[in-house]
Amino acid sequence: MSDQHDPAPYDALLLLSFGGPEGPDDVVPFLENVTRGRGIPKERLKEVGQHYFLFGGVSPINDQNRALLDALRKDFAQAGLGLPVHWGNRNWAPYLTDTLREMVTDGRRHIAVLTTSAYASYSGCRQYRENLADALATLEAEGLPLPRVDKLRHYFNHPGFVEPMTEGVLASLADLDPAVRDGAHLAFTTHSIPDSAADTSGPATGHGDGGAYVRQHLDVARTIADAVRERTGVDRPWKLVYQSRSGAPHVPWLEPDICDHLEELHGAGAPAAVMVPIGFVSDHMEVLYDLDTEATAKAAELGLPVRRSATVGSDPRFAAAVRDLVLERAATERGTRVERCALGALGPSHDLCPIGCCPARTERPAAAGADSPYA
Ligand SMILES: CC1=C(CCC(=O)O)c2cc3nc(cc4[nH]c(cc5[nH]c(cc1n2)c(C)c5CCC(=O)O)c(CCC(=O)O)c4C)C(CCC(=O)O)=C3C
Ligand SMILES: [Fe+2]
C-alpha cells in the first residue's frame, strides 16, 4: 500500500454508481433510464421489471452504496485523510449531475472518481466517462466553474478487492457438506456483454478475443483459484462464466451462462459448486436475482449443492483499497513515484484511458480519458 498520506491535488472523492429503484413506482422509469437508446427488447424489460417487483420494487444497490460511503468516510477519517466523499449515479437519484453541481458549488475543483465497476468495458468504464462528460456539459451550460475529474484506475486486481473475495470462497466451501467440499467446482461469474463489446474492451492494442474484459476476469479468477488451492490444499476445477444477458437473441454475447454451466457440471458428475460473482462490487439485483434466485433454483432442480460467495460490499479492506488508489493517483498527479498494488499477471491498469479504449457504438464525448474534451 502507498505510504503517502497526502490527497493533494484532490479535494474530494466521488463514488459513481449505477443507481436502482427504491420502490415499485420507480421500476419502470429506472428501466427507461438504463435502456434509453440501447435497443433492449420489450420482452426482456418486462422480465427484468419482474425481478425488481419480486423484491418490492427496491434494488439493494442504493443502500449498499450508502454503506460503502460510510465505510469510506470511516476509513478516511481513521487515516487522517480530510477528503470529503460524495455519491452520484448514472440511472437514479442521487443523479451524477446533481451531485457534481453540489460539489462545484461547495468549491470542489479536482475530483477523484471511483466507479462501482472494477473492470474495463464500455458499460463499466467508458459509459461512466460519457456520463461525466454529460454532467460537465450541463454545469458548463449553467455557467458554473468546471472541476477536473480523474477516474481512478480499474481495481479488479487490487488486493483489497481480491482478498475479501478469496475469503468469501473459503467461507462458502466451509459451508458445504464435507462429503462434497473437496470436489466442488468454482464458477466465477460476471455480467455478460456483447462479444463485440468484449472484443473492443480496454486499450486498442489489446483488442480481439474478449479484450481486456475477459482477460481481467480470467486473471482475477486464476488469482482466487490459486489462493484457494494454497489455503485448502485442494486443486479445484474452475471456469469463468456469465450471467444477466440481455439484448436481442441474434446478437452474440459472452457465454456460457451460469445456469447452463451448472447443468453441464451436474451432467459431468460434479458434486457441488461455488458461484463466485467476481464481476460485481456488491450484492445488487444481478446477484440477488440472477444468482441467489434463478441460478440457485436451477441448482436445486438439478440436485447440485451450490453456494454463492460474498462480494466486497463495504468490507473495510475494500475501503482501505480505495484510499490506497486515491493516494496512489494523487502522488502520480504530483509527479511522485509510488508503489501500485496489484495481484495476478496483468499488473496495475492505466490511470488514463487511451484513445480507442472501450469504444462506443456511436462516438460521444467522454471525460477523464486521453480523448476528453475537458482538461
Ligand atoms: C458490465 C455490466 C455491469 C457490471 C459493471 C457495473 O457494475 O457497472 C453491469 C451492472 C449492472 N447492471 C444493472 C442493471 C441493469 N443492466 C442492464 C443492461 C445491461 N447491463 C450491461 C452491462 C453491465 N451491467 C449491458 C451491456 C446491458 C445491456 C444494455 C446496455 O448496453 O446498456 C439493465 C437493463 C435490463 C437488462 O437488459 O437486464 C439493467 C436493469 C445494475 C443495477 C442492479 C440493481 O439494480 O441492483 C448493475 C450494477
Ligand atoms: Fe447491467
Starting from the CA of residue 217, give the closest ligand.
1
Give the pLDDT of residue 25: 97
Question: Does 284 sit in the ligand 1 pocket, CB within 6 Å?
Answer: yes
Residue nearest to ligand 1 atom 15, measured at CA: 34
Ligand 1 pocket residue status of 279, Cβ below 6 Å = yes
User: For residue 129, what is the enclosing H or E element?
Assistant: helix 127-141
The atom of ligand 1 lying closest to the CA of 115 is: 8
pLDDT tens for residues 161-210?
Answer: 999 999 999 999 999 999 999 999 999 999 999 999 999 999 999 999 99
Contact 277, 221 (CB under 8 A): no
pLDDT of residue 4: 59
Nearest ligand for residue 283 CA: 1
Has 286 been labeled as part of a binding site?
yes
> Is there a binding annotation on residue 59?
yes
**Of 107, 259, 116, nearest in space to 192 by CA:** 259
Which helix or strand (DSSP H or E) is residue 189 part of? strand 185-191
| Whether residue 61 has its Cβ less than 6 Å from ligand 1 | yes
Q: Is 122 annotated in some ligand binding site?
A: no
ipTM of model? 0.94
68, 319 Cβ separation under 8 angstroms: yes
Q: 159-308 in CATH: which number?
A: 3.40.50.1400
Query: Which CATH fold topology does 12-155+314-333 show?
Result: Rossmann fold (3.40.50)
On whether 191 is known to bind a ligand per the annotation, the reply is yes
Of 212, 192, 216, nearest to 201 by C-alpha is: 212
Q: Which phi and psi (to 5°) does residue 158 adopt?
A: -75, 135
Distance of CA 246 from the midpoint of ligand 1 (Å): 9
Cα–Cα nearest to 8, from 335, 321, 374, 342: 335
* C-beta of 48 in contact with ligand 1 (< 6 A): yes
Q: Tell me if domain 12-155+314-333 and domain 159-308 are identical in fold.
A: yes
18: CA distance to ligand 1 center in Å? 8
Please classify residue 294 by burial: count the beta carbons closer than 10 Å to its beta carbon, then call 0-12 exposed, 13-18 middle and 19+ buried: middle
List average pLDDT for each run of 10 residues in the chain, which is 375 residues long.
Answer: 76 98 97 89 90 97 98 97 97 98 98 98 98 98 98 98 98 98 98 98 97 98 98 98 92 97 98 98 97 98 98 98 98 96 98 97 96 92
Burial level of 230, CB count in 10 A (0-12/13-18/19+)?
A: exposed
CA distances from 241 to 144, 226, 229, 263, 314 (A): 45, 18, 20, 13, 25
Determine the length of the chain. 375
Q: Cβ(116) to ligand 1 under 6 A?
A: yes
68 neighbors 280 (Cβ within 8 angstroms): no
| pTM of the complete model | 0.96
In a 3-state reduction of DSSP, which class is residue 10? coil
Every domain of the chain and the residues it spans: 12-155+314-333, 159-308
**Angle CA 155–160–163, to nearest 5:** 110
Indicate the SS3 state at residue 173: helix
Work out the burial of residue 170: count CB atoms within 10 Å of its CB; fewer than 13 is exposed, 13-18 middle, 19 or more buried: middle
- pLDDT recorded at residue 1: 46
What pLDDT sits at residue 348? 98
Yes or no: say if 52 and 288 are a contact pair by the CB < 8 Å rule: no
pLDDT digits (tens, 9 = 90+) for 303-345: 999 999 999 999 999 999 999 999 999 999 999 999 999 999 9
Nine-digit cell string for 86: 460524495
Residue 286 CA to ligand 2 center (angstroms) comes to 8
117 lines ligand 1 (CB under 6 A): yes
Q: How far is the CA of 266 from the centre of ligand 1 (A)?
A: 28
